[in-house]
């Protein structure tokens, strides 16, 4: 086996990717209290909301209030999802440290999600990226459906590479590669990284797994064997479909921490504080979240 | 990465390890119907019950009726858990093809579970193993807590090796190494296999993971990179603690099949039939089982 990294940096995307599809409204005060808990866990980056049109994502319609009222922990980077110039304006007003722009590697998924072709998306994002950089912010590019698309099936790594090239050309600092529908198996991770790591240093690449089929932890292991040491995750494994009983969401921060700390890899994050943050949001949502480690912790209380 | 196996053999242990702790009684007729579904899935080995004292495992008190009434699919090996000579007598009467004996690698866990020291357990199992072999049956030895013990913590691979040596000396055909409390991470799997594979060919070693912390699929990937191609699993991920909401049990056959087939590894098993068997037992138990793939399948129906 190749050597594992000594340190892994997690980005907590629960307040954005985790909550965005929840039908149960979480009050602004509860969101703020929860994000403040996350800020104290030792995690170094939190995606705290989305500035997508609130008509599209009503669960996060209080994005600006949240941004203005959360306590800023020194050393923590606060980022938000930003779809366009209007979103960027609100995001800058709300005090983001970093903007996350997004598009799909799959033409059909991009059109269904953003209502534009891939080629028509680049100039929109280019403007947002340049403006955010000019405002002194970091910019991450999310690329969705890098392994499989619900409409097109398998996505060729060369297609992912083309999207990466365009986003790097526009000036993103790094890219987060999304297994949006949670279907990838470890060999797919290997195949994509074999292509992308010929072009980009590992520091520029983040992997973003959903756990829909229970493969995420194995995929993270595989990516780490390629040297990748940055991953996105959500407390409790938030992010499943709210209408689908038992459906998994993003890979759970709790489970990733169990893995990493068990392997002797440092994260700077206190597991207990993540478990407590998991119990908090689980009680606010009123349902059992998918994380195995959170369930174990909750039952041991 | 080392090469993965072309074929992996799964043993379905749901009817035994999956059901043994369930408080809800599953009728004998339902058990038989379910095991018959499993028999038709293409799985080559099913542990269909336990001949442990029914006072200890009331959920499986109908072991003999089940054994006598299930339909025997040609080419499928029907095994059962056998603790002692009395259990073996019943098991032979019920028509087992193979007996599974069991003990722990941890002294304290063995004493709590079997009420004997490890040294006092060997002669009891030795007699069962020899008698079962004389009756023309295969014998698998389960070794529990090969990674971590709830009482003793980390278990030294050399201690596991000593137990393996004794069981092989008594004549077991193969050994199933259990992550009984579901705490192992991939480096622990590597450390144990580095020791054991110096002594035994891979065909003799089966790995038996619980998914308590969500590590099982990653552990299976790791074991396959060592050439291991035999695993135990339960339909739906049955086997969690019945009083612990969301608690995971054994690694789910559904999720293992998703992984293996996604990697292009053959199993001879039809995923759809395993999903249907998962929905069947889930409806009988009246609760959502932990398998990610089963949840996905159930929600897509």
Q: Do B292 and A211 touch (CB under 8 A)?
A: yes
pLDDT tens digits for range A215-235: 999 999 999 999 999 999 999
| Within a domain: B239 | no
How high is the pLDDT of residue A284? 98
* Domain annotation covers residue B187: yes
- In chain A, residues with a C-beta closer than 8 Å to the C-beta of B296 are 212-213, 244, 247
Q: Is the pLDDT of residue B98 over 80?
A: yes
Per residue in A89-129, pLDDT (tens digit) is: 999 999 999 999 999 999 999 999 999 999 999 999 999 99
Q: Is residue B40 part of a domain?
A: yes
Q: How confident is the model at residue B241 (pLDDT cuts 50, 70, 90)?
A: confident
Q: Indicate the pLDDT class of residue B2, thresholds 50, 70 and 90.
A: low
Which chain A residue has the Cα nearest residue B210? A292
Asked if B186 and A221 come within 8 Å (Cβ–Cβ), the reply is yes
Q: Is the pLDDT of residue A1 over 60?
A: no
Could you tell me if residue A3 is inside a domain? no
| C-alpha pair distances (Å), B82 with each of A89, A103, A123, B96, B140 | 69, 57, 68, 10, 10
- Is residue B241 part of the annotated active site? The answer reads yes
Mean pLDDT (chain B, rounded): 96
Considering only CB atoms, which residues of chain A are within 8 Å of chain B? 1, 183, 185-188, 190, 211-215, 217-218, 220-222, 225, 241, 243-248, 252, 255, 258-259, 262-264, 288-296, 298-299
pLDDT tens across A168-183, in order? 999 999 999 999 999 9
Question: Inter-chain contact A258–B186, Cβ cutoff 8 Å?
Answer: no
What pLDDT is attached to residue B249? 95
Contacts of B294 in chain A (CB under 8 A): 246
Contact state of A1 with B296 under an 8 Å Cβ cutoff = no
Rounded to the nearest integer, the mean pLDDT of chain A is 96
B185, A263: Cβ pair inside 8 Å? Answer: yes
Predicted confidence at residue B244, as pLDDT, reads 77
Residue A288 C-alpha, separation from nearest chain B C-alpha, in angstroms: 7
Q: Which domain holds residue A81?
A: 9-300
Count how many domains chain B has.
1
Find the mean pLDDT for residues B189-197.
Answer: 98
Summarised one tens digit per residue, pLDDT across range A30-80 is 999 999 999 999 999 999 999 999 999 999 999 999 999 999 999 999 999
In a domain, A2, yes or no: no
ipTM surpasses cut 0.90: yes
Confidence of residue A145 (pLDDT cuts 50, 70, 90): very high
**DSSP helix/strand/coil, A81:** strand
d(CA A39, CA A240): 23
Determine contact, residues A47/A265, Cβ cutoff 8 Å: no
Establish if A1 belongs to a structural domain.
Answer: no
**Which is the catalytic residue, given A56, A120, A135, A241?**
A241
Structure confidence at residue B242 as a pLDDT band (50, 70, 90): confident
Q: What is the 3-state secondary structure (H, E, C) of chain B?
A: CCCCCCECEEEECHHHHHCCCCCCCCCHHHHHHHHHHHHCCCCCEEEEEECCCCCCCHHHCCHHHHHHHCCCCCCCEEEEECCCHHHHHHHHHCCCCEEEEEEECCHHHHHHHHCCCHHHHHHHHHHHHHHHHHCCCEEEEEEECCCEECCCEECCHHHHHHHHHHHHHHCCCEEEEEECCCCCCHHHHHHHHHHHCCCCCHHHEEEEEECCCCCHHHHHHHHHHCCCCEEEEEHHHCCCCCCCCCCCCECEHHHHHHHHHHCCCECCCCHHHHHHHHHHHHHHHCCCCCCHHHHHHHHHC
List CB contacts (< 8 A) between A215 and chain B: 217, 255, 258-259, 262
Judged against a pLDDT cut of 80, whether residue A207 lies above it is answered with: yes
Question: At B69, which CATH number?
Answer: 3.20.20.70
Within a domain: B282: no
For position A2, what pLDDT does the model report? 64
**Chain A positions in Cβ-Cβ contact with residue B259 (cut-off 8 Å):** 185, 214-215, 218
For residue B189, being part of any structural domain is answered with: yes
**Of B29, B120, B241, B263, catalytic:** B241
The per-residue pLDDT for A69 is 98
Contact A185 B259 (CB under 8 A): yes
What DSSP state is assigned to residue A19?
T
Q: What percent of chain B has pLDDT over 70?
A: 99
Q: What is residue A135's three-state secondary structure?
A: coil
Determine the average pLDDT of the residues in B216-245. 93
């Amino acid at each position: 086996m190749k050597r594992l990294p000594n340190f892994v940096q997690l980005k907590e995307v629960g307040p954005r990717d985790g909550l965005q599809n929840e039908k149960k409204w979480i009050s602004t005060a509860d969101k703020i209290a929860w994000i403040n808990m996350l800020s104290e866990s030792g995690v170094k980056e939190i995606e705290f909301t989305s500035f997508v049109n609130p008509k599209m994502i009503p669960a996060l319609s209080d994005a600006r209030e949240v941004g203005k009222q959360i306590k800023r922990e020194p050393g923590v980077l606060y980022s938000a999802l930003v779809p366009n110039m209007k979103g960027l304006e609100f995001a800058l007003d709300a005090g983001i440290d970093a903007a996350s722009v997004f598009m799909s590697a799959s033409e059909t998924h991009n059109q269904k999600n953003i209502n534009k072709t891939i080629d028509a998306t680049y100039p929109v994002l280019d403007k947002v990226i340049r403006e955010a950089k000019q405002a002194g912010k970091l910019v991450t590019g999310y690329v969705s459906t890098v392994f499989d698309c619900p409409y097109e099936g398998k996505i060729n790594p060369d297609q992912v590479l083309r999207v990466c090239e365009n986003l790097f050309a526009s000036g993103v600092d790094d890219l987060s590669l999304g297994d949006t529908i949670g279907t990838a198996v470890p060999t797919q991770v290997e195949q994509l990284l074999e292509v992308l790591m010929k072009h980009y240093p590992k520091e520029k690449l983040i992997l973003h797994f959903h756990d829909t089929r229970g493969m995420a932890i194995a995929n993270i292991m595989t990516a780490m064997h390629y040297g990748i040491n940055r991953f996105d995750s959500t407390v409790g494994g938030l992010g499943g479909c709210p209408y689908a009983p038992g459906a998994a969401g993003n890979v759970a921060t709790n489970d990733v921490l169990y893995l990493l700390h068990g392997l002797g890899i440092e994260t700077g994050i206190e597991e207990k504080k993540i478990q407590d943050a998991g119990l908090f949001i689980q009680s606010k949502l009123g349902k059992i979240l998918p994380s195995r480690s959170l369930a174990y912790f909750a039952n041991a209380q």
